[in-house]
């Protein structure tokens, strides 16, 4: 893991802005001194969401979702110019004594230094390296999806879409006693990562049918059709993908009704209904961070680049880059 030398805090900061759909740039950012109850964080790493963040990068946020899809510390408005992102890991350089010098996670855009309320940062638990903590937002999404899906002991579970969120959800489900979990993806290169995480893997054509539960995370209409095909009688298909402005056509004829399937959405913006009375967002994120202590999850971070390369990285990922899972940005 990278070393993190101590540095003197300064008033200089730089941030990544989407200045037009499909194009980003690095800009200088004003940085005020932290007030009581605030912290100054120096970024160490950030992560790029290959789902939501790339839809934002492409200007694909629907008009109906312009407010709901705002990130906690977003600046600007959709489609652009906008400073967006929500996966930052850094060191607290100034702030309350209990946090000073701590490595923390924050739902902040890509920026070298930033000031936020102290209760907006989440100290990393012992045993979680900062470089792996960029998976926190993805793990939180996977946790919420498992709560929504409510798998049972012994279920046969198919996870269609072996990206970061899909593999994390599959990894969590695979830790339930008796559950048989299969990751399904059109990219054969995902097999090695899935097997590294202790998961079975199959192409859509070879995937096992009659799943008790299907999680869909491919972000494609073909993937969702595969998920419906793999579901057993009266099974639930949990839709984790967000399509932005793209219309999705589904085969809801055929056996959809005769098999009495349930198609259910899951979205991390709200704590799953079954947990909402007792859990808040902070408790859920703390759980996600604690679950990331397994070194096997490093396999999900396939690429890294320095902060100055972030605009080019966003463009590359938007163009495809099928072999990339989580792309980490290092500061």
Radius of gyration of the chain (CA): 20
Question: Token digits for 5?
Answer: 């030398």
Angle at alpha carbon of residue 314, lines to 43 and 12, rounded to 5°: 30
* Sheet (strand 262-265) strand order: 200-202, 180-184, 156-160, 211-216, 231-239, 262-265
Burial label for 76, CB within 10 Å (0-12, 13-18, 19+), is: middle
Ranges in the chain annotated CATH 3.40.50.720: 138-265
55-82, pLDDT tens digit by residue?
Answer: 999 999 999 999 999 999 999 999 999 9
> 73-77 contacts: CB < 8 A, separation 24 or more?
73/106, 73/107, 73/108, 73/109, 73/114, 73/116, 73/120, 74/109, 75/109, 76/17
CATH number assigned to the domain covering 138-265: 3.40.50.720
Ranges in the chain annotated CATH 3.90.180.10: 14-132+294-330
Which residue is it, tokens 């110019």? Answer: 81
100-129, pLDDT tens digit by residue?
Answer: 999 999 999 999 999 999 999 999 999 999
What size, in residues, is the chain?
Answer: 331
Ranges under pLDDT 50 in the chain: 1-10
Strands 231-239 and 211-216: parallel
Task: Give the CA distances from residue 252 to residues 173, 210, 260, in Å, rounded to whole numbers and listed in that order.
Answer: 27, 17, 11
Q: What residues pair up with 200 in beta bridges, in sequence order?
A: 182
Indicate the CATH number of 14-132+294-330 among 3.50.50.60, 3.40.640.10, 2.40.10.230, 3.90.180.10: 3.90.180.10
DSSP code at position 220 = S
- How far is residue 54's CA from residue 248's CA, in Å, rounded to a whole number? 18
- How far is residue 239's CA from residue 251's CA, in Å, rounded to a whole number? 15
Q: What is the pLDDT of residue 254?
A: 87
The H or E element spanning position 319 is helix 310-319
Task: Give the CA distances from residue 176 to residues 13, 157, 232, 320, in Å, rounded to whole numbers and listed in that order.
Answer: 44, 11, 20, 33
- pTM for this model (two decimals): 0.94
- How far is residue 92's CA from residue 310's CA, in Å, rounded to a whole number? 23
Task: Report DSSP letters for 52-65, one per residue.
Answer: HHHHHHTT---GGG
Q: What residues contact 8, with CB distance under 8 A and at least 6 apart?
A: none
- How far is residue 76's CA from residue 19's CA, in Å, rounded to a whole number? 10
Q: What is the pLDDT of residue 11?
A: 64
Question: Token digits for 275?
Answer: 């947990």
Q: What is the pLDDT of residue 2?
A: 46
Q: What is the pLDDT of residue 9?
A: 43
* Other CB atoms within 10 Å distance of the CB of residue 301: 19
Question: Token digits for 152?
Answer: 């049972």
């Amino acid at each position: 893991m990278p070393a993190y030398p101590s540095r003197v805090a300064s008033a200089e900061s730089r941030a990544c802005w989407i200045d037009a759909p499909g194009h980003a740039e690095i800009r200088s950012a004003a940085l005020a001194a932290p007030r009581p109850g605030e912290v100054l964080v120096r970024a160490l790493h950030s992560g790029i969401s290959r789902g939501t963040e790339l839809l934002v990068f492409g200007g694909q946020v629907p008009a109906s979702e312009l407010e709901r899809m705002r990130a906690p510390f977003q600046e600007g408005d959709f489609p652009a110019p906008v400073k967006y992102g929500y996966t930052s890991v850094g060191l607290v350089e100034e702030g309350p004594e209990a946090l000073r010098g701590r490595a923390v996670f924050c739902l902040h855009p890509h920026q070298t230094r930033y000031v936020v309320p102290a209760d907006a940062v989440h100290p990393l638990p012992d045993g979680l390296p900062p470089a792996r903590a960029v998976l926190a937002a993805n793990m939180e999404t996977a946790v919420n999806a498992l709560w929504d899906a409510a798998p049972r002991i012994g279920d046969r579970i198919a996870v269609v879409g072996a990206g970061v969120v899909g593999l994390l959800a599959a990894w969590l489900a695979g830790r339930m006693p008796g559950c048989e979990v299969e990751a399904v993806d059109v990219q054969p290169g995902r097999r090695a990562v899935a097997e590294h995480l202790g998961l079975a893997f199959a192409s859509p054509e070879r995937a096992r049918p009659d799943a008790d539960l299907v999680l869909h995370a491919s972000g494609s209409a073909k993937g969702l059709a595969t998920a419906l095909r793999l579901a057993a009688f009266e099974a639930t298909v949990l839709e984790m993908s967000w399509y932005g402005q793209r219309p999705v056509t589904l085969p809801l004829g055929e056996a959809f009704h005769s098999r009495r399937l349930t198609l259910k959405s899951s979205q991390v913006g709200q704590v799953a209904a079954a947990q909402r009375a007792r859990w808040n967002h902070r408790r859920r994120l703390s759980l996600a961070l604690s679950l990331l202590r397994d070194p096997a999850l490093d396999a999900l971070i396939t690429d890294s680049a320095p902060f100055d390369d972030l605009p080019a990285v966003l463009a590359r990922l938007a163009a495809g880059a099928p072999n990339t899972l989580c792309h980490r940005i290092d500061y």
